[in-house]
Structure 1
Amino acid sequence: MTSSRTKFYLDKRRAKWSGVCAGIADYTGINVFWVRIAAVIATITFAFPWTLVAYWIAAKSFDPKPSELYGSEEDQQFWQGVRQSPHRTARDVRSRFREIDRRLADMELYYTSKNTTLSNEIESLR
């Protein structure tokens, strides 16, 4: 597993201030709007200075997200799934490989069984 894709990064591209909320949204797969709303509510209702201190520490501690971290939108969703539930993602990948293996076995069976039509076509080409 590529550790750079499972690491938390600040998302400077979608940042309002430092990219902490956008980074959390990218890491978890939650919409950035809801992460920002939760941050504002946490700041207002809980300990006001501590949430800002935590935000500032996160902004100074983490690296910005590399521009080419994901190849496509599908790649981004896959890695967000890995971060959210590695066991479920591994199960899904195993399931896909089983399906591919089953399809290959079906193709092998078709082409290795006695297929007179295919044999006749091959003979006609000679």
Structure 2
Amino acid sequence: MPPRRTRFYLDKTNAKFLGVCAGISDYTGIDVLFVRVAFALLAIFATGGIGFLAYFLVAWLADTKPRAFDYEDREDRKFWQKVRARPGASVRDVRSKFRDIDRRLADVELHVTSQNRRLADEIDALR
């Protein structure tokens, strides 16, 4: 079974220790520095040390990010982060983009197939 892009993975390539904060950053799209600072503050002050236990538990249970995902471009990464955050909105965005492309293609087709004499003359001049 191929790896799913909607799962949480440890990001070992951008890791400082075990890759949990880098994985959270990759999963949510939040800058890794903010995730690390927030984790450190929460682990020290809010959870009374249980945060560190949770960190090691996540590092032990989560899978490492597949190498196939290391080579995707920034736009793909942002797209999949949006899908993970709001799947319904992502589907609406894709449908909206396809509708826009379809409308623009119909406009081009109408323009090309119309009885525009000037356009026909320009096309004949190119031959």
- TM-score tier, shorter chain, comes to 0.7 to 0.9
Bigger shift: residues 87-96 or 53-62: 87-96
In 2: Cα distance, 1:16 partner to 1:120 partner: 65
Structure 2 residue identity aligned to 1:115: N
Alignment of 1:1-126 (within 5 A): 4-69=4-69, 71-120=72-121
Unaligned runs of 5+ in 2: none
State, as a whole percentage, how many aligned pairs show the same letter.
Answer: 51
Structure 1: segments with no counterpart, 5+ residues: none
Seen in structure 2, the aligned counterparts of structure 1 residues 125 and 77 have a Cα distance that, compared at 3 Å, is closer
Normalising to structure 1: TM-score of the pair? Answer: 0.87
Quick one: distance in 2 between partners of 1:110 and 1:86?
Answer: 36
Query: What is the Cα deviation at residue 41 of structure 1?
Result: 0.9
Q: Distance in 1 between matches of 2:52 and 2:122?
A: 75
TM-score (norm 2): 0.86
**Counterpart Cα distance in 2 of 1:109 and 1:96:** 20
Q: Letter of the aligned partner of 1:63 in structure 2?
A: D
Give SS of 1:4's match: coil
* Structure 1 position 51, deviation (Å): 1.1
CA distance in 2, matches of 1:39, 1:17: 13
RMSD, aligned α-carbons: 2.1
Corresponding letter in the other structure for 2:65: K
> Post-superposition shift, 1:117?
3.0
- Measure how far apart 1:123 and its partner are: 5.8
- Aligned equivalents of 2:10 and 2:44: distance in 1? 23
Cα 1:46–1:117 shift into 2, 3 Å? same
